[in-house]
Amino acid sequence: MKVNPFITSGYISKKYFCDRKKEIASLQTYMRNGVNTTLVSPRRMGKTGLIHRAFEDLKDFGCVYVDIMPTRSIEDFNRLLSEAIFHKFPEKTSIGKKFWEFLRGFRPLISYDSITGQPQIEISYQMESQKPQTLKSILQFLNAQDKKIIVAIDEFQQITTYPEKNMEAILRSEIQTLNNINFIFCGSKRSVMYDMFSNAKRPFYQSTSFLSLEKIDRKEYAKFIVKQFNKSNITISKVCVDFILDWTKNYTFYTQYICNKLFSYSEKEITLKMVTHACRETLAEQATTFNQLRQLLTTAQWNYLIAIAKEGKITQPTAQNFLMKYKIGTPSNSKRLLKTLCEKDIILEQISLKETTYEIYDMFLYHWLLDNYDVI
Ligand SMILES: Nc1ncnc2c1ncn2[C@@H]1O[C@H](COP(=O)(O)OP(=O)(O)OP(=O)(O)O)[C@@H](O)[C@H]1O
Ligand SMILES: [Mg+2]
């Protein structure tokens, strides 16, 4: 079966990856020069993909990737980090063998995932203090290897939710002593990430270089889309490509999704009718999710979302004409609603030197609101 050349989850290889030349080069330069890096962008922009893409060209490093989204504590962190090390250095490799020996000292319970065959590690601790100690030992183990190591920690903001309030301090003080490991700290909660790394009162203050991921260059994305279709002998006109990129505002995940759908139609030529059909079909598929979201929000929050969708984006949430047009109420009402929706990751706040803008980042939700609601 033909692989759909538009990936919508995970990473396969550079063959399916569009552009990001500058960002790949920056990340690689930082890594080759021992500079720890903080990688931030809104959700679904391509951070995780970029890490894997950069790793593909850093073959002389031992690149360990760990997604800590599901972790709730240092204990979970240790477990996922150990599993990620095994994922990178399987049992048969020399580092993998050494890591088994090393872990044995902790008397872990080891099981194997029935689907992936990957080891799953459970360490039982007698005392709380053993948890940070184990974390330090794992990092020191990596640091002692002949190979240079990179550890990418995805969804890094998650550590701020751990019951162990000193996780940041523990990690930071340990990292300072490691000269053979470089770190990539990756996250989408911009305000949390920036505060962690730019607040003078926090342990990680100014300890890394920042890399902020923006949208893929539109021209590059257009070329990529045509090329991916053409490789499978499918033609697509400039008009169709422009429609896709306008509709998704060339936001990575949403562009990939629509192109993936179009490819799945298995036609030799993509027409505008097919593109609009793919967009409509996508919105229909998402309707249940959006109706559920509606149940989770108050009427005022929902109406506020519709208002932002209708405006496209806003820069002045307390402007009289905006408040009046959408019956939002007082300026403080507006600020409160906006704050909650930003915290819920539904509205994206983007701060530049010139202004702060607010918009719905989920392009499917944005279009669905536009299609389903008239101005209130
Ligand atoms: N440069 C690229 N070219 C093609 N596809 C890409 C590119 N970057 C990312 N993608 C695809 O877009 C989707 C979203 O990317 P990714 O998961 O890397 O985003 P993210 O910023 O890590 O999102 P989240 O914040 O939700 O974790 C994925 O399916 C990924 O394969
Ligand atoms: Mg990600």
Secondary structure (H, E, C), 248-288? CCCCHHHHHHHHHHHHHCCCCEECHHHHHHHHHHHHHHHHH
DSSP output for 119-164: EEEE---SSTTHHHHHHHHHHHHHHTSSS-EEEEEETGGGGGGSS-
Q: Is 41 in the pocket of ligand 1 (CB under 6 A)?
A: yes
Quick one: which ligand is closest to 41's CA?
A: 1
Q: Is 228 in the pocket of ligand 1 (CB under 6 A)?
A: no
Amino acid, res. 83: E
| Count of Cβ atoms closer than 10 Å to residue 119 Cβ | 20
Alpha helices in 153-251 (DSSP H): 167-176, 190-198, 218-230, 238-247
Q: How far is the CA of 325 from the centre of ligand 2 (A)?
A: 37
Q: How far is the CA of 121 from the centre of ligand 2 (A)?
A: 23
Q: What confidence tens digit (pLDDT) does each residue in 84-130 have?
A: 999 999 989 999 999 999 998 888 888 888 888 888 888 888 888 89
Q: How far is the CA of 133 from the centre of ligand 2 (A)?
A: 28
Q: How far is the CA of 331 from the centre of ligand 1 (A)?
A: 36
Q: Is 256 in the pocket of ligand 1 (CB under 6 A)?
A: yes
- Give the pLDDT of residue 375: 59
Q: What confidence tens digit (pLDDT) does each residue in 25-68 have?
A: 999 999 999 999 999 999 999 999 999 999 999 999 999 999 99
Q: Is 45 in the pocket of ligand 1 (CB under 6 A)?
A: yes
Contact 196, 210 (CB under 8 A): no
Helix (H/G/I), strand (E/B), else coil: 227: helix
The pLDDT of 260-271, averaged and rounded, is 97
Amino acid, res. 17: F
Task: From 163, 192, 196, 187, select the one nearest 77 (Cα to Cα).
Answer: 163
* pTM for the full predicted model: 0.94
- Give the pLDDT of residue 187: 95
Q: Is 18 in the pocket of ligand 1 (CB under 6 A)?
A: yes
Q: Residue 119's beta-bridge partner residues?
A: 112
Q: Of all protein residues, whose CA lies closest to atom 4 belonging to ligand 1?
A: 17
**Tokens encoding 87:** 């994922």
